[in-house]
Structure 1
Amino acid sequence: MKQHSIHAWLLKHTRLTDKSLTDIQLGQARLRLGLAPAGLYYIWLHDSNFSQYGNVFLAVLAAYFIYTCITLYTIRQQPLSAFRSITSPLLDIVIVSFGMLVDGGQGSGIYFLYLIIIFGHGFRFGSSMMLYTQSLSLAGLLAMTSFLWLQSPTTIDLSLLFWQLTTLVVLPAYVYLIVQSAEQAIKARTEAENSSFNLLDKGPTPVFTFAPDLSGRPSILYTNRATDNLFGHARTMLVGEEVDKLILPEDRREMSRFCLDTLAMETSPEQPATNQIYIRGTDSGGNILKLTCTAIRMHWQNRWIGVCFMLDITQRETLHEQLESISKKAYMSTMVAGIVHDFRNVLNNIIGYAELLHMNASDNESRQQLAEIIAAGDRGSDLITHLLKLSNKQHTAAAQVGKTEGSMLAQPLENIVGLSRLQMPQHIQLVCDIEKSLPDVAISIIEIEQVLLNLINNAMQAIRSDGQISICVSSDHQHRLATAEHPALCIRVSDNGPGIADEDLDHVFKPFWTSRGDKGGSGLGLAMVQRIVKRHHGSINIDSVANQQTTFTVHIPPFSGQEIPTRGTEESPAPSSTSLPATAPCHILLVDDAPDIRRVHKSMLSRLGHTADTAENGLQALALFKKHTDRYDLVITDYRMPVMDGLELTEQIRRLDADVPILMITAYGEDRSLQQVDQYNAILVSKPVMLEKLSQGIADAMRPGS
Structure 2
Amino acid sequence: MRQYIIEHWLLNNSGRPADKSLSETQIEQSWARLGFATLALLFLSLHGANFEYYRTPFLITSGLYFLANIISLFTIRKNPLSALRTISMPVLDVTVVSFGMLVDGGGNSGIYFAYLLIIFGNGFRFGNSMLLYTQVMSMIGLTIMAAVAALSAAPIIYDPSLLYWQLITLLLLPAYVYMIGKRTEKAIKAQTEAEEASFNLLDQGPVPVFTFELDQNGKPMIVYTNRAIHELFQMDHAMLAGECVDRLILPEDSREMFDFCARTLDLQLKDENNTIYIRGINRAGTPLKLTCTAIPVRWRTHRIGVCFILDITQRETLQEQLEAVHKEGYMSTLVAGVVHDFRNVLNNMIGYAELLRMESDKEDVCEQLDAIIAAGDRGSELITRLLKLGKNNKNNIPLQIVRTSGESMIKPLENITGLARLQLPARIQMHCRIDHELPDVAITVIELEQMLLNLINNAMQSIQSAGLIQVTISSDHNHHLAIAGMGALSIRVSDDGPGIAPENIDLIFKPFWTSRSNHGGSGLGLAMVQRIVKRHHGTINVASVPYEETTFTIVLPPFREHTHAATIAAPTQAPASIEVPPPMRILLIDDAAEILRVHQAMLMRLGHTVETAENGLQALETFSKDMAAFDLIITDFHMPVMDGLALTEEIRAVNSHIPILMVTAYGEDQRLQQSSHHHIALLGKPVTMDKFNQGIIEAIRIVEQGGSSQ
TM-score, scaled to structure 1? 0.56
Distance in 2, matches of 1:225 and 1:550, equals: 39
Describe the shift of the 1:596–1:425 C-alpha distance in structure 2 as closer, same or farther (beyond 3 A): farther
1:453, distance to aligned residue in structure 2 (A): 1.7
Which residue matches 1:387? 386
Correspondence for 1:436: 436
Q: What amino acid maps onto 1:660 in structure 2?
A: I
Q: C-alpha offsets along residues 370-428 of structure 1, whole Å, 9 cap, x if unaligned?
A: 22111111110011112222332459889536422212333432333333333234554
Inter-partner Cα distance in structure 2 for 1:667 and 1:359: 25
Partner of 2:332: 333
State which of 583, 605, 608 in structure 1 corresponds to 2:606. Answer: 608
Tell me which amino acid in the other structure corresponds to 1:678: S
Measure, in 2, the Cα distance between the counterparts of 1:439 and 1:208.
Answer: 42
Aligned-residue CA RMSD (Å):
5.1
Give the match for residue 486 of structure 1.
Answer: 486
Structure 1 Cα separation of the partners of residues 692 and 585 of structure 2? 13
2:278 and 2:422 in contact (8 A); partners too:
no
Assess if the C-alpha contact under 8 Å between 2:208 and 2:232 holds in 1.
no
1:205 and 1:644 map into 2 onto residues whose CA distance is: 68
- Quick check: 1:345–1:667 contact (8 Å CA) kept in 2? yes
CA 1:514 to 1:349, structure 2 compared with 1: closer, same or farther past 3 Å? farther
Letter in 1 for 2:639: M
Whole-angstrom CA distance in 2 between matches of 1:555 and 1:634: 34
Matches within 5 A, 1:232-631: 311-312=309-310, 322-394=321-393, 400=400, 402-465=402-465, 467-500=467-500, 504-505=504-505, 507-543=507-543, 550-560=550-560, 562-577=561-576, 581-588=580-587, 590-631=588-629
Question: Aligned in 2, Cα 1:434/1:644: closer, same or farther, shift over 3 Å?
Answer: farther
The answer on whether the counterparts of 1:591 and 1:621 sit within 8 Å (CA) in structure 2 is: yes
In structure 2, give the amino acid aligned to 1:453: L
- Structure-2 separation of matches of 1:376 and 1:693: 16
Residues 666 and 5 of structure 1, relative CA distance in 2, 3 Å threshold: same
1:535 CA displacement:
3.0
Query: Higher mean Cα deviation, 547-556 or 370-379?
Result: 547-556
Between the aligned partners of 2:552 and 2:629, the Cα distance in structure 1 is 37
Identity of aligned pairs, percent? 50
3-state SS of the aligned residue for 1:490? Answer: strand
**Which residue of 1 is the match for residue 694 of structure 2?**
696
- Structure 1 residues 542-551 or 632-641, which shifts more? 542-551
| Unpaired segments ≥5 residues, structure 1 | 12-121, 133-197, 211-218, 227-241, 247-254, 277-289, 298-308
Q: Deviations over 1:621-647 (max 9, x none)?
A: 334444444443322222223343322
User: Partner residue of 1:84?
Assistant: none
| Mapping of residues 645-660 of structure 1, within 5 Å | 645-660=643-658
Distance in 1 between residues matched to 2:507 and 2:337, nearest whole Å: 13
Alpha-carbon separation, structure 2, partners of 1:630 and 1:675: 28
Higher alpha-carbon deviation: 609-618 or 522-531: 609-618
**2:209–2:309 contact (8 Å) kept in structure 1:** no
Shift of 1:449: 1.8
Whole-Å separation in 1 of the counterparts to 2:568 and 2:200: 55
Q: Return closer, same or farther for 1:610/1:517 CA change in 2, 3 Å cut-off.
A: farther
Give the deviation of 1:685 after TM superposition.
0.5
1:58-73 → structure 2 map (5 Å cutoff) = none
Corresponding residue for residue 139 of structure 2: none
Q: Secondary structure at the match of 2:667?
A: coil
Q: CA deviation at 1:481?
A: 2.9
Counterpart Cα distance in 2 of 1:483 and 1:601:
40
Q: Which amino acid aligns with 1:338?
A: G
- Distance change >3 Å, CA 548–CA 620, structure 1 → 2: farther
Structure 2 residues not aligned, in runs of 5+: 12-74, 86-191, 213-225, 250-276, 285-306, 706-710
**Per the alignment, do residues 543 and 650 of structure 1 end up closer, same or farther by CA in structure 2, a change over 3 Å counting?**
farther
Amino acid at match of 1:358: R
- Tell me which moved more, 638-647 or 624-633: 624-633
In the aligned structure 2, how far is the partner of 1:438 from the partner of 1:586? 49
**Structure 2 partner of 1:46:** none
Q: 1:222 to 1:416 in 2, by over 3 A?
A: closer
Q: Is 1:672 matched with 2:659?
A: no
For the pair shown, the structure with the greater C-alpha radius of gyration is: 1
Q: Is the 8 A contact 2:633 2:659 kept in 1?
A: yes
CA distance in 2, matches of 1:533, 1:649: 19
| Structure 2 Cα separation of the partners of residues 129 and 575 of structure 1 | 110
CA shift for structure 1 position 10: 10
1:506 and 1:611 mapped to 2: Cα distance?
36
Structure 1 residues 582 and 565 mapped into 2: Cα distance closer, same or farther (>3 Å)? Answer: closer
Deviations 1:252-286 (A, max 9, x none): xxx99x689878xx99x99xxx999xxxxxxxxxx
Structure 1 CA distance for aligned equivalents of residues 451 and 633 of structure 2:
33
Aligned counterpart, 1:636: 634
**AA paired with 1:637?**
T
* SS of the residue 2:607 aligns to: coil
Whether contact under 8 Å (1:327, 1:450) holds in the other structure is yes
CA contact (8 A) 2:680 2:699 kept: yes
Residues 377 and 571, structure 2, Cα contact 8 Å, conserved in 1: no
Aligned length: 472
Cα pair 1:205 1:311 within 8 Å, conserved: no
The separation in 1 between residues aligned to 2:356 and 2:201, in whole angstroms, is 80
Looking at structure 2, the residues matched to 468 and 661 of structure 1 have their Cα atoms a distance apart, in angstroms, of 52
Secondary structure of residue in 2 paired with 1:442:
coil
Q: Secondary structure at the match of 1:331?
A: helix
User: What is the letter of the counterpart of residue 688 of structure 2?
Assistant: M
CA–CA distance in 1 between the matches of 2:200 and 2:615?
59
Q: TM-score, normalising length from structure 2?
A: 0.55
Residues 213-250 of structure 1: per-residue CA shift (max 9 Å, x gap):
xxxxxx99997789xxxxxxxxxxxxxxx98xx9xxxx
Aligned counterparts of 2:428 and 2:628: Cα–Cα separation in 1: 54
Kindly provide the amino acid, as one letter, of the partner of residue 422 in structure 1.
L
SS in 2 for 1:705: helix
Structure 1 pair 456–295 and aligned structure 2 pair: CA distance change class (3 A)? closer
Q: State whether residues 401 and 442 of structure 2, in contact with CA within 8 Å, keep that contact through their aligned partners in structure 1.
A: yes
Deviation at 1:572, TM superposition (A): 4.6
- Residue 687 (structure 1) aligns with: 685
More displaced stretch, 675-684 vs 394-403:
394-403
**Residues 156-187 of structure 1: CA deviation (Å, up to 9, x unaligned):** xxxxxxxxxxxxxxxxxxxxxxxxxxxxxxxx
* Deviation of the 1:6 alpha carbon: 2.2
User: Does the CA contact (< 8 Å) of 2:638 and 2:664 recur in 1?
Assistant: yes
Partners of 2:459 and 2:576 lie apart in 1 by: 54
Q: Residues 29-178 of structure 1 correspond to what in structure 2 (within 5 A)?
A: 126=79
Per-residue CA deviation, residues 346-379 of structure 1 (Å, 9 max, x unaligned), is 1111111222222223433332222211111111
